[in-house]
């Protein structure tokens, strides 16, 4: 019996995610969107790519959550992008409503699913899905660190003109300007970055990683990144469905780890068939601890805003 993955949101991220899942033949895919015809049309288009690309999975588009019943994994990409004149709080409340509604329906139809959140602001949306679904914490996971790490690795490889496959990087913290790339633990085939790149250049690479999403938005003007975010989500789904037990940086609910309580923050985790099977607590320097605390405080600020509105 094949695995089943639901992707909520038929926009650029969701559609790219569904396509990547099909390419890798990881599961039958259900693409859900509120706009009538969009998921059906995109799903049919992807299905008809199968004979050409050589994948046999079934792809269904739907507006009704009955089609998603008994999904193994649900990837939530639905939500609004920030528009001109919209404050961060406006976006927060708009996407809170979306993610809360989606999660209620998902939990009803797939009570044993693992949730992978992509909607921004990511860490606050993970908290929303966790509170709404009442799923155990190991089954609610945020996609951020895999993307942030990929960006850091891309910039390092380009700077050194080396294979991307040889670059290992570690990024902790919330998804946004306060993320914490751990340069000390990043390397090229085991060679520390500090032996390969001068400090000034490293600082520029770290800053470019932190603003990686904004850089793409600046170019696109009317949209945001979707190829890399969808690829990152699918890497997480693959590790879960194949029980690969990859160690990936993901947003996880911390309960004392790194001195953080009750918040979703990006940390290294082992992803297997049960979802998050282990959280790895790295020994950090005082400077790194301070940066992570600042990042966690930014997440806490968003969650506090939701709480004040009765969320």
Question: Cα(213)–Cα(100) distance, rounded to whole angstroms?
Answer: 24
> Which is nearest to 33 in space by CA: 60, 54, 52?
60
For residue 34, what is the DSSP state? S
Distance in angstroms (rounded) separating the CA atoms of residues 254 and 265: 7
Query: Of 107, 37, 39, 123, nearest to 74 (Cα)?
Result: 107
Tokens of 4: 């089943």
Task: Tell me whether residue 310 is exposed, middle or buried, using C-beta atoms within 10 angstroms of its C-beta: 0 to 12, 13 to 18, 19 or more.
Answer: exposed
Residue 57: strand, helix, or coil: coil
Task: Specify the domain boundaries for CATH 3.90.110.10 within the chain.
Answer: 145-308
Residue 70 burial (C-beta neighbours within 10 Å; 0-12, 13-18, 19+): exposed
Burial status of residue 162 (CB atoms within 10 A of its CB: 0-12, 13-18, 19 or more): middle
Domain 145-308 fold is L-2-Hydroxyisocaproate Dehydrogenase; Chain A, domain 2 (3.90.110)
Q: Tell me how far apart the alpha carbons of residues 11 and 79 are, in angstroms, rounded to a whole number.
A: 9
Phi (first) and psi of residue 234, to 5 degrees: -70, -35
- DSSP annotation of 155 reads H
The one-digit pLDDT tens for each residue of the chain (311 residues) are 799 999 999 999 999 999 999 999 999 999 999 999 999 999 999 999 999 999 999 999 999 999 999 999 999 999 987 666 666 678 899 999 999 999 999 999 999 999 999 999 999 999 999 999 999 999 999 998 999 999 999 999 999 999 999 999 999 998 878 899 999 999 999 999 999 999 999 999 999 999 998 899 889 888 889 999 999 999 999 999 999 999 999 999 999 999 999 999 999 999 999 999 999 999 999 999 999 999 999 999 999 999 987 66
Strands (E), the chain: 4-8, 28-32, 59-62, 73-76, 114-117, 140-142, 167-168, 171-172, 180-181, 187-188, 191-192, 246-255, 261-272, 275-279
Number of other residues whose CB lies within 10 A of the CB of residue 270 = 18
Nearest to 14 by CA among 34, 148, 2, 176: 34
**Other CB atoms within 10 A of residue 257 CB:** 15
For residue 230, give Cα distances in angstroms to 90, 102, 147, 235, 279. 25, 19, 9, 9, 23
Residue 138 annotated as catalytic: no
Distance CA 228, CA 280 (A): 24
Where does CATH 3.40.50.720 sit in the chain?
4-142
Residues 160-208 have pLDDT tens digits of 999 999 999 999 998 878 899 999 999 999 999 999 999 999 999 999 9
Rounded CA gap, 17 and 227, in Å? 8
> What pLDDT, in 10s, does the model give residues 131-150?
999 999 999 999 989 999 99
Q: Which long-range contacts (CB under 8 A, 24 or more apart) does 296-301 make?
A: 296/173, 296/174, 296/258, 296/260, 296/263, 296/265, 298/174, 298/176, 298/178, 299/123, 299/124, 299/174, 299/263, 299/264, 299/265, 300/263
Domain 4-142, CATH homologous superfamily name and number: NAD(P)-binding Rossmann-like Domain (3.40.50.720)
DSSP 79: -
């Amino acid at each position: 019996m094949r695995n089943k993955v639901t992707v909520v949101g038929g926009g650029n991220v969701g559609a790219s995610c569904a396509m990547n899942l099909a390419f890798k033949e990881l599961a039958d895919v259900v693409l859900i969107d509120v706009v009538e015809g969009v998921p059906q049309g995109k799903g049919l288009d992807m299905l008809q790519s199968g004979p050409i690309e050589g994948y046999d999975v079934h792809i269904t588009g739907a507006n009704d959550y009955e089609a998603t019943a008994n999904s193994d994994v649900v990837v939530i990409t639905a939500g609004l992008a920030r528009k001109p004149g919209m404050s961060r709080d406006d976006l927060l409340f708009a996407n809170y409503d979306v993610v809360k509604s989606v999660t209620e329906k998902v939990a009803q139809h797939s009570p044993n699913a693992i949730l992978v959140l992509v909607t921004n602001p990511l860490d606050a949306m993970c908290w929303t899905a966790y509170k709404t679904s009442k799923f155990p914490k190991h089954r609610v996971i945020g996609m951020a660190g895999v993307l942030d790490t990929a960006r850091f690795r891309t910039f390092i490889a380009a700077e050194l003109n080396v294979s991307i496959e040889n670059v290992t990087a570690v990024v902790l913290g919330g998804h946004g300007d306060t993320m914490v790339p751990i340069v000390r633990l990043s390397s090229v085939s085991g060679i520390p970055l500090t032996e390969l790149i001068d400090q000034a250049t490293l600082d520029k690479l770290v800053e470019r990683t932190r603003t990686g999403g904004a850089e793409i938005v600046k170019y696109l003007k009317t949209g945001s990144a979707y190829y890399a975010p969808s690829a990152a989500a699918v890497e997480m789904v693959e590790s879960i469905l194949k029980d690969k037990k990859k160690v990936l940086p993901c947003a996880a609910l911390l309960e004392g780890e790194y001195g953080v309580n009750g918040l979703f923050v990006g940390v290294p985790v082992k992803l297997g068939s049960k979802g998050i099977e282990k959280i790895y607590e790295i020994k950090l320097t005082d400077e790194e601890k301070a940066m992570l605390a600042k990042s966690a405080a930014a997440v806490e600020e968003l969650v506090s805003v939701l709480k004040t509105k009765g969320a």
